[in-house]
Amino acid sequence: MKEIKTIGVLTSGGDAPGMNAAIRAVTRSAIFEGWKVYGIYRGYEGLINGDIKEFTSESVSNTIQRGGTILKTARSQEFMTEDGRVKAYENIKKFGIDALIIIGGNGSLSGAQILAKEYDIPCIGLPGTIDNDLYGTDSTIGYDTALNTIVECVDKIRDTATSHDRIFFIEVMGRDAGFLTQNSAIAAGAEAAIIPEDKTDIDQLEQFISRGFRKSKNSSIVLVSESPKDGGAMHYAERMRNEHPEYDVRVTILGHLQRGGTPTAYDRILASRMGVAAIEALNEGQRNVMIGIKNDQIVYVPFSRAIKIDKPIDRELIHVLGVLSI
């Protein structure tokens, strides 16, 4: 394996709180090793267009507390083409980059896997996504902050729901994963969570009516995953209005506010540990792996497993909410 002297770091896909802490950790750890660091702006799009700048320790000063990503991010359609990846590799050679560190979610790591395979360049991934849907890690960068943001919002909506005797269907991000929905439902004391993973022969809305909503309850909160397969909160609210017109129903879609805000201490520490671990992984000769955390220990997860294996939700969480929602 070629000796590493220069690395590039980029953030791709959806932004997540804690990405800046990860960029900071990667940059300073690499400089500590005596390596040169290039920040690649706007993800793979910036790699294609040569939007690349050398980073120093000062480049990441005063960033650990900031949400979003100082490197910007974008979803690159061109990188999905062979010609786009040729341009990206030409810039990798032009700037003398020996290895890449990619901070992002499933799509970002998939791009890294393809690039590594086609051009034999070492790539290390950091799981940066609020969805917490990457296999092989207990938590992803940004998940804890998003979870706390959702709980804060639900607490505020609860005041209105109680004051007006209403049922609120609140839509939560997560794509096809219900980790945010299920855990924020427990933390916020919601009456139900409708998630993609809780697929049974029992209709989830009817299950809520029979299990999680009693006539003695004048208000209720139902958290719904945004999964397009089910139609999200609007779908369930409309069904509720049609099938149970006696209830006053409202919908709140939390949307992108879940991605923003100052990262929690947990996300800052997690991102810092993973950033340092990424550089250590390259020093050990690791390549094409995602840095994960299992039982509070850093682990290396091959891209093929992190991307392709569906991360299972803890079924006990569904049981806990069912018991507590009576």
Q: Is 19 left (phi over 0), alpha (psi -120 to 50) or beta?
A: alpha
d(CA 22, CA 201): 42
d(CA 88, CA 46): 8
Q: How many Cβ atoms are within 10 Å of 70's Cβ, its own excluded? A: 16
CA 176 to chain centre: 12
Single out the catalytic residue among 131, 133, 144, 198. Answer: 131
d(CA 169, CA 4): 51
- Catalytic residue at 131? yes
Distances (CA, A) of 244 to 142, 209, 237, 238, 323: 37, 10, 10, 10, 24
The structure tokens 């005041």 sit at 159
The CA-based angle 181-187-189, given to 5 degrees, is 95
**Catalytic residue list:** 131
